[in-house]
Structure 1
């Protein structure tokens, strides 16, 4: 049975994909939900890591609007949005997750090509239009608007 991962409700909506692409400050702008916020893939991939509260799963979660079919089929118990949200804990395998609202900071800074962000047991590297995140077990995901891969 797939894990159902419902992200906290915030005032942001999926319409935030159309948010301005202004880059924030040199440091990550904090949305209040995650300790680490950033964007990758030229600003089209939104990520938040190391949630501030224990109510949310700890690790890194990234969201993008995918073009095409999701890499995994929608679980029967997912009545929410499916296909563009990926989660990786500091250990274990990466997974796609069900989500409701848009819990990411639309003004977080955009990682430069080749730049890496490290969190508690995970790291993500931007490369062109994609981001690759991996954990201490060498599991992870690689995602862009056109491609998704779990490893």
Structure 2
């Protein structure tokens, strides 16, 4: 027996239970019915298509490029007794930026053509070298011997083409066939090769 606060439970037919108010209260509760199991709607499973989203992730890997530094020549490579000596890439010229007691100069010695006429006051070798000093334009040399060599047991190192040697106020550069040296302050200098030369 089920107790209901306002009435009795009455049993109906066909195994249907109905709760109804049988008493004399003014209020009435709604009727609750239990339906047979065959009449209870059942949820029919439905297939739901869920779209699959494909995400493509692109990873960019930074490419590291190693650039070889510009060739830097150490002072020790060319320096001898506060001066700097080198050989042209073609081996035709011995050159130097040298510090002398009374001046500093840059010059090269080797065979070049054409050679200007020998000056009357030159009593020794003429036309075997060309140089630029602290003052004045580049010029051919009148000399009694080699100046632009360190005199060491080995040949002076080659100054690679396109690599400047800047020392003592002068800058010398080379190509495969010529050498140029310039006084950085006066901008005077020279360019010399086996078959050409220029002073300025």
Normalising by structure 1, we get a TM-score of 0.70
Offset of residue 58 of structure 1: 1.4
Give the structure 2 partner of residue 62 of structure 1. 108
Relative to structure 1, the CA distance from residue 41 to residue 148 in structure 2 (aligned partners, 3 Å threshold; closer, same or farther) is farther
Higher relative contact order (CA 8 A, sep 6+): 1
Give the structure 2 partner of residue 134 of structure 1. 182
Q: Does 1:74 align with 2:118?
A: yes
Q: Which runs of 4+ in 1 moved over 4 A?
A: none
Structure 1, residues 13-40: CA drift from partner, whole Å, max 9, x if none? xxxxxxxxxxxxx71263x5x6101111
In 1: Cα distance, 2:89 partner to 2:198 partner: 15
Offset of residue 133 of structure 1: 0.8
Count matched residues. 120
CA contact (8 A) 2:107 2:181 kept: no
Structure-to-structure mapping, 1:43-58, within 5 angstroms: 43-51=91-99, 53-54=100-101, 57-58=103-104
CA contact (8 A) 2:98 2:104 kept: yes
In 1: Cα distance, 2:134 partner to 2:89 partner: 22
In 2: Cα distance, 1:63 partner to 1:38 partner: 11
RMSD: 2.0
Offset of residue 90 of structure 1: 3.5
Structure 1: runs of 5 or more not aligned: 1-25
Normalising by structure 2, we get a TM-score of 0.54
In 2: Cα distance, 1:75 partner to 1:92 partner: 17
Q: Which has the larger radius of gyration?
A: 2
Offset of residue 95 of structure 1: 1.2
Relative to structure 1, the CA distance from residue 122 to residue 90 in structure 2 (aligned partners, 3 Å threshold; closer, same or farther) is farther
Give the structure 2 partner of residue 109 of structure 1. 157
Q: 1:38 aligns with which of 72, 79, 86?
A: 86
